[in-house]
């Protein structure tokens, strides 16, 4: 099965795909993106992802692109690749123009996509939990807009790997816990689940929203509220949520065990509920 790319309407082998050197996404980070995963050949929460993509484009004052155009490209890539469990990366930049900080008007956007098999979280990590470090949040002030400006995320992730950990958690100057490098974060204390409220400081995660809905349906007490590193370290359970992350427990943060240092029952239950929803065909 081939790994394919879509570039402005043309599908090709991924190694042949290129964009012009004066693409503003390349030179200025002037672009937005989404990543959508499929289960059994069907795309999970596709319209929610496209809602967020369109919101990101509005925040950057991009011209509108018909959703039907994006969906046709996704369908074509999916059919030609044939992956039952795939990830599609969608990136839209403002377009190509001679390099200038000021925005050149009326240039067509660059629309690119790639499709590959999903790189699953290792089963051992799912069963035994992951580890993390905390890092100072140096990202730009609009983390709620899903742009390609991910250098701080990339450096934080590498910092975690260099520290023999799996991920990094961003923490503000005031000690408020934000989220992971590519995921949202929940803590469990007693019967209470807590996650950072939706502000400009975190991404409005699609899986985060699904998990919030699942918690309410399952009568789990969940709230959106600020909390600091002391609450993180003192939690009974901590887990990350994301499109590929799904629900991933953290059992150690900054070399401090979370709870008893093992994957907890709430994390396991929510992962089971999420996976059941996805595999049952409750897809868009």
> How far, in Å, are 50, 97, 146 from residue 91 at the CA level?
12, 17, 10
DSSP state of 191: T
Residue among 263, 165, 146, 273 nearest 214 (CA) = 273
Q: Is 228 a catalytic residue?
A: no
Active-site choice (71, 119, 146, 277): 146
- For the chain, the maximum distance between any two Cα atoms, rounded to a whole number of angstroms, is 57
Cα 9 vs. chain centroid, distance in angstroms? 25
CB 251 within 8 A of CB 258: yes
Q: At what angle do helices 67-81 and 46-59 cross, to 10 degrees?
A: 130
Main-chain dihedrals φ then ψ at residue 110, nearest 5 degrees: -95, 125
Residues designated as active site: 146
């Amino acid at each position: 099965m081939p790994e394919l790319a879509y570039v402005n309407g043309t599908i090709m082998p991924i190694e042949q795909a290129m964009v012009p050197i004066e693409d503003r996404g390349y030179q200025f980070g002037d672009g937005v993106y989404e990543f959508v995963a499929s289960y059994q050949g069907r795309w999970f929460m596709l319209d929610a992802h496209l809602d967020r993509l369109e919101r990101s484009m509005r925040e950057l004052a991009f011209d509108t692109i018909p959703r039907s155009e994006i969906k046709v490209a996704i369908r074509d890539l999916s059919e030609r690749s044939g992956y039952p469990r795939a990830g599609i990366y969608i990136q839209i930049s403002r377009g190509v123009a001679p390099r200038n900080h000021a925005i050149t008007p009326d240039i067509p956007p660059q629309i690119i996509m790639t499709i590959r098999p999903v790189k699953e979280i290792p089963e051992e990590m799912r069963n035994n939990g992951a580890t993390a470090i905390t890092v100072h949040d140096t990202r730009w002030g609009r983390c709620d807009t899903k742009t390609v400006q991910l250098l701080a995320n990339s450096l934080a992730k590498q910092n975690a790997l260099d520290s023999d950990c799996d991920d990094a958690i961003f923490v503000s100057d005031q000690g408020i816990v934000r989220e992971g490098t590519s995921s949202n974060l929940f803590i469990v204390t007693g019967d209470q689940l807590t996650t950072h409220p939706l502000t400009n400081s975190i991404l409005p995660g699609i899986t985060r929203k699904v998990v919030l809905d699942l918690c309410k349906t399952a009568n789990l007490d969940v709230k959106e509220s600020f909390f600091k590193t002391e609450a993180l370290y003192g939690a009974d359970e901590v887990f990350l949520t994301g499109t590929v992350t799904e629900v991933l427990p953290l059992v150690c943060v900054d070399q401090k065990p979370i709870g008893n240092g093992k994957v907890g029952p709430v994390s396991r239950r929510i992962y089971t509920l999420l996976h059941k929803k996805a595999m049952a065909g409750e897809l868009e």
